[in-house]
């Protein structure tokens, strides 16, 4: 009889432990798309970059263990909505449309959409994109903007880098992408350049599920602290040098 009781007790203990592990209290799961240097990219087997380090600093402040979920860029918002991830950080631009699906933290940096062309291109400003074939990463703000350009053909790629490959192979006339990854891709390839005039100015922020206002407050507090202490700028400066 005693044995049976002990068995039941230990079984229920195991159950409690198992369910305890599944709670989001211990980990902070971040949805991202690690194809976006210097914000998130693969370095060997590791995923590194500005967003990863900011997320790590936030997780440290919250006493939670950071877990990175690498996925297609156009899945990161859904991952947060469905609860698969607690937070999305992916060089993610705040847009009115996205605000209908998720909450955004306070922005932690600004960015812009720029145009990459071949060095001898006749495209010298955003206005010249009319009627051109423009490569973008699927589901990005670049994708949305190019879609609005008169007569432009949007060629969508899973990775920004693949859009740049298409430009090098003359499959597209230009690529629209965020300024920092653009600089990285241009520095890694011969014969392409960034058009002087930027297309937009945007802000990057972390996305959090609408119903998780507790985490939103915590993340906003953490970002404010990181800003104040200079840690945020130090992380950015580590990856971006002008
Ligand atoms: N800033 C753009 C957007 O929010 C592009 C972000 C792409 N990020 C990435 N990790 N691939 O749509």
Same domain, 98 and 142: no
How far is CA 52 from each of CA 6, 31, 55, 106, 235, rounded to the nearest angstrom?
Answer: 45, 10, 5, 17, 10
Is 13 among the domain residues? Answer: no
Our CA angle for 141, 90, 177, nearest 5°, is: 35
Using most ligand atoms within 8 A of CB, pick from 78, 162, 178, 239 the residue to mutate for ligand 1.
Answer: 178
Considering the domain boundaries, does residue 10 fall inside one? no
pLDDT of 180 reads: 98
Task: Return d(Cα 39, Cα 90) in angstroms, integer.
Answer: 7
Q: Are residues 102 and 67 in the same domain?
A: yes
* Claim to verify: residue 83 and residue 117 sit in the same structural domain: no
pLDDT attached to residue 198: 87
Residue 40 lies in a domain: yes
Q: Is the CB of 141 under 6 A from ligand 1?
A: yes
Q: Which of 123, 128, 216, 141 is nearest to 178 (CA)?
A: 141
Atom of ligand 1 nearest to the CA of 143: 12
Shared-domain flag, residues 122 and 179: yes
Give yes or no: residues 196 and 210 share one domain. no
In angstroms, the Cα distances linking 115 to 96, 129, 154, 197, 232 are: 23, 9, 13, 8, 27
Q: Could you tell me the distance, in angstroms and rounded to a whole number, from the CA of residue 48 to the centre of ligand 1? A: 16
Q: Are both 179 and 146 inside the same structural domain?
A: yes
Ligand 1 nearest-atom number relative to CA 202? 1
Q: What confidence score (pLDDT) does residue 19 get?
A: 47
> Helix H segments across 74-207?
76-82, 96-99, 141-147, 160-168, 179-188
Looking at the domain assignment, is residue 1 inside a domain? no
Pairwise CA distance, residues 208 & 103, whole Å = 5
User: Does 177 lie in the same domain as 119?
Assistant: yes
Q: How far is the CA of 34 from the centre of ligand 1 (A)?
A: 10
Same domain? For 86 and 139 the reply is no
Same domain for 188 and 150?
A: yes
What DSSP character marks residue 132?
Answer: -
Instruction: Confirm or reject: Cβ of 48 under 6 Å from ligand 1.
Output: no
Domain shared by 165 and 225, yes or no = no
| Residue-range definition of the domain harbouring residue 38 | 24-108+205-239
Q: Does the CB atom of residue 93 touch ligand 1 within 6 A?
A: yes
Torsion angle defined by CA atoms of residues 23, 64, 180 and 156, in that order, rounded to the nearest 10 degrees: -10
Question: Ligand 1 within 6 A of 36 CB?
Answer: yes
* CA 95/CA 97 separation, integer angstroms: 5
Residue 8 domain-assigned (yes or no)? no
90: in domain: yes
Q: How many domains does one find in the chain?
A: 2
Q: What is the mean pLDDT of each run of 10 residues along the chain (242 residues)?
A: 57 50 71 98 97 98 98 98 98 98 98 97 95 97 94 97 98 98 97 94 97 98 98 98 80
Same domain, 119 and 183: yes
- In this prediction, residue 183 carries a pLDDT of 97
- 3 within some domain: no
**Is 175 part of a structural domain of the chain?**
yes
Domain CATH for 128: 3.40.190.10
Closest residue by Cα to atom 7, ligand 1, is: 91
- Size of the chain in residues: 242
185: CA distance to ligand 1 center in Å?
Answer: 15
Q: 105 CA distance to ligand 1 centroid (A)? A: 16
Q: Are residues 157 and 127 in the same domain?
A: yes
Q: How far is CA 125 from CA 111, 128, 169, 198, 212, in A?
A: 18, 6, 21, 8, 42
Nearest ligand 1 atom, CA 139: 12
């Amino acid at each position: 009889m005693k044995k049976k009781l002990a068995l039941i007790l230990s079984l229920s203990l195991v159950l409690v432990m198992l369910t305890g592990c599944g709670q989001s209290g211990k980990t902070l799961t971040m949805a991202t798309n690690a194809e976006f240097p210097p914000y998130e990219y693969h370095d060997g087997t590791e995923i590194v970059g500005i967003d990863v380090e900011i997320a790590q600093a936030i997780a440290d402040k919250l006493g939670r263990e950071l877990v990175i979920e690498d996925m297609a860029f156009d899945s990161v918002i859904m991952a947060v909505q469905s609860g698969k991830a607690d937070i999305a950080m992916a060089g993610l631009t705040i847009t009115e449309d996205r605000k209908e699906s998720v909450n955004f933290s306070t922005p932690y940096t600004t960015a812009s959409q720029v145009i990459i062309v071949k060095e001898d291109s006749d495209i010298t400003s955003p206005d010249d994109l009319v009627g051109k074939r423009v490569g973008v990463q699927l589901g990005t703000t670049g994708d949305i903007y190019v879609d609005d350009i008169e007569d432009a053909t949007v060629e969508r790629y899973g990775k920004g880098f693949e859009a740049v490959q298409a430009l090098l192979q003359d499959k597209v006339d230009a690529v629209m992408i965020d300024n920092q990854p653009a600089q990285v891709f241009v520095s890694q390839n011969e014969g392409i350049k960034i058009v002087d005039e930027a297309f937009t100015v945007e802000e990057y922020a972390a996305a959090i599920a609408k119903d998780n206002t507790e985490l939103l407050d915590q993340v906003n507090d953490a970002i404010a602290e990181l800003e104040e202490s200079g840690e945020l700028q130090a992380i950015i400066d580590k990856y971006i040098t002008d």
